[in-house]
Amino acid sequence: MALLFVLGGLEVIATISRNFKFSSAHRMGNYAGKCSKIHGHNYHGYVTIKGSIDSEGYIVDISVLKKYLAEVEEMHDHAYLNELDLYENKTPSVENISREIFRHLKDHINEEMKITLYETENNFSTYGDFL
Ligand SMILES: [Zn+2]
């Protein structure tokens, strides 16, 4: 879905978003409480790309977004996050996971973007070039 804002007839900014999801296990280090034990989450989130709409009607090639989000899902799905190189010496918190997803996409897509990642219905984190 693209949102378009028009000011005085000039196109200012628009966004396009795409959802992703994966199920992973993790445990939290240096954390008192039940989250210090291994447990799982059905993570879901979305990436939002910000830019102007080109003459073809697009902000970004959605197939490129789809490809790199599939890599993110493949990396994280049914994984024990604490054992991944990606989270070596790092707690796989929802904040750190959203940052790593951002970094992965940013390696391939040179657009302003942000990641919003839900760990539970109530806990989510946003990381990106804009908020
Ligand atoms: Zn957890």
Reported as a single tens digit per residue, the pLDDT across 23-50 is 999 999 877 788 889 999 999 999 999 9
Residue 80 and residue 28: Cα distance in Å, rounded? 12
Chain segment 66-107, per-residue pLDDT in tens: 999 999 999 999 999 999 999 999 999 999 999 999 999 999
- For residue 108, name the pLDDT band (cuts at 50, 70, 90): very high
Residue 121 and residue 18: Cα distance in Å, rounded? 18
| CA–centroid distance, residue 106 to ligand 1 (Å) | 25
- Would you state the structure tokens that stand for residue 2, as one six-digit string? 């693209």
| CA–centroid distance, residue 1 to ligand 1 (Å) | 30
Eight-class DSSP state of 52: -
Domain 6-128 fold: Tetrahydropterin Synthase; Chain A (3.30.479)
- For residue 122, name the pLDDT band (cuts at 50, 70, 90): very high
pLDDT at 124 over 70: yes
| CA–centroid distance, residue 40 to ligand 1 (Å) | 6
**Does the model's pTM come out above 0.85?**
yes
Cα distances (Å, whole numbers) of residue 82 to 24, 25, 39, 47, 58: 10, 8, 11, 23, 38
| CA–centroid distance, residue 43 to ligand 1 (Å) | 10
Domain extents for the chain? 6-128
Mean pLDDT of the chain: 92
Across the strands, what pairs with 16? 2, 49
* CB neighbourhood size of 68 (10 A): 18
- For residue 5, name the pLDDT band (cuts at 50, 70, 90): low
- For residue 21, name the pLDDT band (cuts at 50, 70, 90): very high
| CA–centroid distance, residue 64 to ligand 1 (Å) | 30
| CA–centroid distance, residue 35 to ligand 1 (Å) | 6
